[in-house]
Amino acid sequence: MMIQRTLIASSALFALAFSIACTTATPAKANCADFVLSCDNGRDYPFCPRAVSPEGDVVTGTLSLAPHSAVRMRLIPMGVGYRYAGRGIWFDGMQDQALLFLHKNASVSCTVSRQTLDPAAPAVLYTKG
């Protein structure tokens, strides 16, 4: 009986330590959010680039929707502007203005701003739009 209690307590302690370690590694807290979408709904959505082209375009990235919810996004070049799309979510933009679609028919107007001081980080999301 005592062994079972010790095993359960140590498992719970490990799970707690693991969850704390995982929450500190989210893009918003790990200082990898080079861009932030500040939207009219009062929320800020950090965007962490994962791959950058030789021209300086962010090709893939991660958009944080909540502390434990992030969506991988991929660049879809448009004729004018850009689109980053992930599973069930996307945003269309031109320079620093974007429309974030959290649902199919519901868009939120956002401003894209650069948050990093790293000179090696891309200056803009997409250079051709």
Residue 68 lies in a domain: yes
Residue 47 lies in a domain: yes
Residue 75 lies in a domain: yes
pLDDT at 24 over 70: no
pLDDT at 16 over 50: no
Range of the domain at 82: 35-114
Residue 96 lies in a domain: yes
Residue 87 lies in a domain: yes
Q: Domain count of the chain?
A: 1
Instruction: List phi, psi (to 5°) of 51.
Output: -140, 135
pLDDT at residue 61, rounded to an integer: 94
pLDDT at residue 42, rounded to an integer: 95
Residue 86 lies in a domain: yes
Residue 91 lies in a domain: yes
